[in-house]
Structure 1
Amino acid sequence: MREDIEHTETASMARYPSLAGRTVLVTGGATGIGAGFVAHFARQGARVAFLDIDDAGAQALQATLADAEHVPLYRHCDATDLEALETAIAEARAQLGPITVLVNNAANDVRHRFGQTTAAEFERNIAVNLRHQYFATQSVVGDMRAAGGGSVICLGSTGWMIKNAGYPMYAMAKSAVHGLVNGLARELGADRIRINALVPGWVITDKQRRLWLDDAGKAQIAQSQCLPGYLQVEDLARMALFLAADDSRMCTGQQFIVDGGWV
């Protein structure tokens, strides 16, 4: 099987009965890794709401899930607008019920140069890659406490661990995700709310393939990963399912790296 089209049928993977009917919120869920989260949770029978600014991508995703038990609910929302974020979360709660799984996925790894960064660009980068994770979590904790527990999944990145160049603000924000997880694990844990970092390596989405996967990148993957083949969206989604399900009830304050053994 060619490594660039390597997929495993979802039907052969684990099902998590505890996710059926559970309300899940995914930020940045219209395309890429986020769309994988939305699709996999929906196929588990969860009630999924997802936020994004890509209306066309969201509609296309919903069309592929028209036969799901609960067709995912989409709300247009820029996660950097905290008022809009709070409103969208409230609307999702009103339509689908209390949110007990939050996937803080929205991010932008746009390339930038350290010496040319402006203060406005700095604030924007932190807003899109870190700030919304804090405040989205704050917005759903009440639901989780009332339900007797829940799971918050914060998306990190191995990019800062392997000292990649080209996106210092992104690397800084993603490293701070680990601080957020560690800083909240004990406080939230008292109410049986789990919070973990899901840390992808180089996941070959359509965007990555279009912008950055050249021959040098393919060679780097072959050299650096312990496992052959490309990381796929499904590989991250299946870890997210585990972290959201009751099967991971004693996992919190941890980082779960899915990178083919690169780090």
Structure 2
Amino acid sequence: MAGVLLVTGAGRGIGAAIARLGAARGWRVAVNYSRSRAPAEALVAEIAAAGGEAAAFAADIGDSAAVTAMFAEIDQVLGPVTSLVNNAGIIGPVARVEALDDPQALVALYATNVFGVFHCSREAIRRMSRRRGGPGGVIINISSVAARHGGLAGEVAYASSKGAIDSLTTGLAREVAADGIRVVGLRPGLTDTDINDGHDGGKSVLGVIAPTIPLGRIGRPEEIAEAALFLLSDAASYMTATTIDVSGGR
């Protein structure tokens, strides 16, 4: 199965790894970014140099109108989206709950991590749904094992946003199954990406936690990408309304 694959937050980290691997496996890839323009354009150039097809599209996915405009632009440049990876996410405020005095920080967290998934899924479903004349498709929501264990110290807000994604995945999958759309979730564990700079203590926290992971190490973005491409493939055609862990056993 191949077509047009949109990966949100694909300028770096897990999103970039998914976009890169998707292009290598024949997808026309829409690389979404909000602020990481240079890395997104570099990734598109890298994919083109390897013989793939990709284009970069700027949009803050927390902005409903911006998402609608981005999908319309993708329609014109690559064709309608046939698969979507809702990957974009932020750590948000790192603090104990009683210290979260800035409501706008929570609004920004949920705007990206939760509302953005709703906005992008809405536009994707309008194009994929067989009930609307589309070909069907796949939506992958990138969650986190933090949704199950509550997150690292000071990251209750982040973990709660990912818990919302797990619920959204289950409910949306059941809602659109008859439309020919599979919705699945993927929970990465600690992975070596720039998002870890947002943790209290930065990436140094990874070295502390790594020995506590059953496999004894943190993950690589490429390992998460392999799982995502499996979920997009026909090999996972009987999987929907479920979320799988790629976390080294953590």
TM-score of the aligned structures, taking structure 2 as reference length: 0.90
Name the CA distance, whole Å, in 1 between partners of 2:64 and 2:150: 30
**Displacement after TM superposition at 1:209 (Å):** 6.8
What does 1:140-151 correspond to in 2, within 5 Å?
Answer: 140-145=124-129, 146-151=133-138
CA-atom RMSD in angstroms: 1.7
Name the CA distance, whole Å, in 1 between partners of 2:228 and 2:15: 11
Secondary structure of the equivalent of 2:53?
A: coil
Task: Please give the per-residue CA displacement for 1:55-94, whole angstroms capped at 9, x wherever unaligned.
Answer: 1111221232222433311011111221111101111122
Name the CA distance, whole Å, in 2 between partners of 1:109 and 1:206: 11
1:180 aligns with 2:168: yes
| Amino acid of the structure 2 residue aligned with 1:92 | I
Name the CA distance, whole Å, in 2 between partners of 1:26 and 1:260: 24
Q: Is the 8 A contact 1:106 1:128 kept in 2?
A: yes
| Amino acid of the structure 2 residue aligned with 1:38 | A
Q: Is the 8 A contact 1:148 1:191 kept in 2?
A: no
Name the CA distance, whole Å, in 2 between partners of 1:255 and 1:222: 25
Equivalent in the alignment of 2:88: 106
Structure 1: gaps (5+ residues): 1-17
| Amino acid of the structure 2 residue aligned with 1:221 | A
Q: Identical aligned pairs, as a percentage? A: 31
Provide the aligned length of Structure 1 versus Structure 2: 241
What does 1:191-206 correspond to in 2, within 5 Å?
Answer: 191-206=179-194
Equivalent in the alignment of 1:160: 147
What does 1:12-23 correspond to in 2, within 5 Å?
Answer: 18-19=1-2, 22-23=3-4
Equivalent in the alignment of 2:46: 64
Q: Is the 8 A contact 1:30 1:52 kept in 2?
A: yes
Equivalent in the alignment of 1:73: 55
| Amino acid of the structure 1 residue aligned with 2:108 | R
Equivalent in the alignment of 2:119: 135
Task: Please give the per-residue CA displacement for 1:119-150, whole angstroms capped at 9, x wherever unaligned.
Answer: 22221111011101011111011221233321
Equivalent in the alignment of 2:203: 213
4+ long deviations beyond 4 Å: none
Name the CA distance, whole Å, in 1 between partners of 2:42 and 2:17: 13
| Amino acid of the structure 1 residue aligned with 2:227 | M
